[in-house]
Structure 1
Amino acid sequence: MPILRYHAADFGGGNSLLVGTHDLDVSWEQINWAAQTVGKAEHHVGMHGLFSLFEAAYRTTIVWANLMESASGRLIKSPAYEALDPSEKGSISYYLGLIFAKLFAFRRLDTPWLLHFDVYREEHEAVLEGNEKPDLIGLNAAGNWIVYEAKGRTGGFLTSVLDDAKGQAQEITTIGGIEPVLRVGSLVYFRSDGLHLSVVDPPSDKSRRRRDVKLSERDFLAQYYATFDAAVDVRQNARREERNGEEYRILELNDLDVAIGVPVAARLERRVTPPRQIDDASFIGPDGIEIALGGAWSQVNMRRDPRVRTR
């Protein structure tokens, strides 16, 4: 399994054990699950169906083309990533920042759901001022809100970037009138030994002007699953399978050797599915979304340059 190294600071209370440097065993299924489920800002585009399908393929392609597993198991840049020009690397780094923010939120913060703040732009434009805002709003398994700003860098760690993330995470004071339990800032970056994630939960800044996002849990969850439904709807002949008594529709991205399982029943109430690595190639996340990978994603293959991998 690939290894994610993270560095956590300023977490208190029940999250104090996060503090320090730790290695987290992940899987390519979990990384793909995070890539597919983080943000979902494009739900407006997703209403057009085919574009949601393109988006799903694009998110998986980012992982496939730009990451490898080293002989020691660390996540490293691929030669394809190294060959990109600086602006392209910046775009990919942004997405990697989101992907590993989602993975960390799931594995260490018990937060299955993260949506882009801009999903609710029309509702809160009058509340927030200026350009400073966080990337993500999250809902944890207990029904508490979190705010998360995720950043990614092509180069190494830069304190000023993480400081910016900390500030943006504090821009929202309440969601639906309730104060978030966490305001997290994170930074994904590369060192010579591979990918690192630095993550902090700065103390709340009580001096900030009150800024509220008008949002209910039900609306949040409806938006979260909207893009998946739109993507599967394009494939009207998508096969159906059962998972622990629940019916799933399967979206197959055949060229990428990936299948995405989406629950048929609308999930408008908070319900956490026990996350499980079903076998060496299938994972169901706590949000109920399933990712199944074919042989193209084997450890042997993912340790190769993407240009010579077999499918």
Structure 2
Amino acid sequence: MKLDEIRTYKLSVEADGHSGGEGFLKEDTDLTISGGELLHAAVTCGIPEERLMTGYSEKPGTGISRRISLVEYSLEAQGEYLRKSDRILELDESMRSLISYYLGMFITKLVSGKVYGVDYLVPLQLVRLEQGQENLRYHGKRRRDMIGYREGTDVCFSVWEAIGRSNNSGKALKEGCKSAEEILTVNGHTPCRADSCMTYYGSRCLSVRVKTTAAASEGLEISFPPAAYFRAYYDAVYGIVRECYERESVRNQMVFGEERIEAEIPVSGGRKLYVGMPRRLFFALESDDEEVLMAADEIMNKEKDPEIQGPVCTEAYCGRDGVSVSVR
């Protein structure tokens, strides 16, 4: 597959143990996604291992470019569906496991947002790294949780365990639920939901199982500054735009009254990845925490012109987080 193609695909999504409600799956379904949505999830998904390698010789954007190559190499379209590419059979088991891990992270981010209305999803480890802290341990195990946030009248944090597998594994899904239910509170609030989300290769296509776990009666009480959460979320995209801005190689745009700043980096096949964000957000991330919170609040509460259908960007997919992406 190629992420510069303008088309849609289907994911087989099986929801187990959810409570329903607006925007939630009522039953198992074939979920329609666009190539732009998959690209956006791959670009904006936080990967702790990549953050830990910063400071070495990699240029900003190298990790993002690698993610795009990984998705395009490992998946192929079969009609409307995405399936495992035969090319990954040439790889050894460790590389196939790495691909499954990345796809599990990307698809969890995509499904949590598209189906369950999660606006932001950030690995807890990245939030702690933003504060100069080590990853948490609980019962001797390192935490791999992803913390979701949904804007609304009430504070809504959620806990997600992203699992990437080659095959359907009920045991892995159960272990993910066990981890998710160990989070008692996030910034003093009981999580509005806790889920294990497993991505695997089904008989027909790339498939997803989402299982909701019961609320914790005891466990970890997690807290972090809200600004650290948003900084951790935007870190990878901000790094690309900042590096291009310092080289004076960014493009300024005015899109439907919003000033945006866009950077480009080379990807495989002689193409370029274009990544953009509101100019206000970019300079807020260079400033203090109060500015970051104000910019994030503006993005989440921004009222779109009712005559505008789709994202507030041109030639790109734009998420609710204000980040636009395209490959061309």
User: Is the pair's TM-score, using the shorter chain for normalization, greater than 0.5?
Assistant: yes
Q: Which amino acid aligns with 1:35?
A: A
How many residue pairs match? The answer is 290
Distance in 1 (alpha carbons) for counterparts of 2:32 and 2:26: 17
Q: Which position in structure 2 is the counterpart of 1:226?
A: 235
Distance in 1 (alpha carbons) for counterparts of 2:178 and 2:62: 33
* Residue 81 of structure 1, CA deviation: 1.9
Distance in 1 (alpha carbons) for counterparts of 2:241 and 2:78: 34
* 1:57 maps onto 2:72 in alignment: no
- Larger CA deviation: 268-277 vs 136-145: 268-277
Distance in 2 (alpha carbons) for counterparts of 1:67 and 1:132: 30
The structure 2 residue matched to 1:81, chosen from 88, 93, 96, is 88
* Residue 244 of structure 1, CA deviation: 2.5
The structure 2 residue matched to 1:137, chosen from 147, 166, 183, is 147
Identity %: 22
Give the structure-1-normalised TM-score: 0.84
* Residue 276 of structure 1, CA deviation: 3.0
* 1:264 maps onto 2:275 in alignment: no
Q: Which amino acid aligns with 2:253?
A: E
- Larger CA deviation: 255-264 vs 228-237: 255-264
Distance in 2 (alpha carbons) for counterparts of 1:49 and 1:85: 26
**Inter-CA distance 14–132: structure 2 relative to 1 (3 Å threshold):** farther
Distance in 2 (alpha carbons) for counterparts of 1:213 and 1:147: 11
Equivalent residues in 2 for 1:92-171 (5 A)? Answer: 92-119=99-126, 120=128, 123=133, 128-131=138-141, 133-142=143-152, 143-154=155-166, 156-171=167-182
Check conservation: 1:10, 1:19, Cα contact below 8 A. Answer: no
Q: Which position in structure 1 is the counterpart of 2:45?
A: 38
* 1:254 maps onto 2:254 in alignment: no
**Inter-CA distance 40–191: structure 2 relative to 1 (3 Å threshold):** closer
Q: Which amino acid aligns with 1:199?
A: V
Distance in 1 (alpha carbons) for counterparts of 2:257 and 2:313: 18
How far does the alpha carbon of each residue in 1:52-104 deviate from its partner, in whole angstroms, 9 at most, with x for none? 31111112111111111112x10111232222111100000000001110000
Q: Which amino acid aligns with 2:140?
A: G
For structure 2, list consecutive stretches of 5 or more residues without a partner in the other structure.
Answer: 1-7, 282-291
Give the structure-2-normalised TM-score: 0.80
Specify which structure has the bigger relative contact order, considering alpha-carbon pairs within 8 angstroms and separated by 6 or more residues.
1
**Inter-CA distance 220–17: structure 2 relative to 1 (3 Å threshold):** closer
Q: Which position in structure 2 is the counterpart of 1:276?
A: 310
Check conservation: 2:39, 2:326, Cα contact below 8 A. Answer: no
- Larger CA deviation: 14-23 vs 258-267: 14-23
Secondary structure at the aligned position of 1:14 is classed as coil
* 1:288 maps onto 2:322 in alignment: yes
Check conservation: 2:252, 2:262, Cα contact below 8 A. Answer: yes
**Inter-CA distance 80–240: structure 2 relative to 1 (3 Å threshold):** farther
The structure 1 residue matched to 2:210, chosen from 199, 207, 221, is 199
For structure 1, list consecutive stretches of 5 or more residues without a partner in the other structure.
Answer: 295-311
User: How well do the aligned residues superpose, as a CA RMSD in angstroms?
Assistant: 2.6
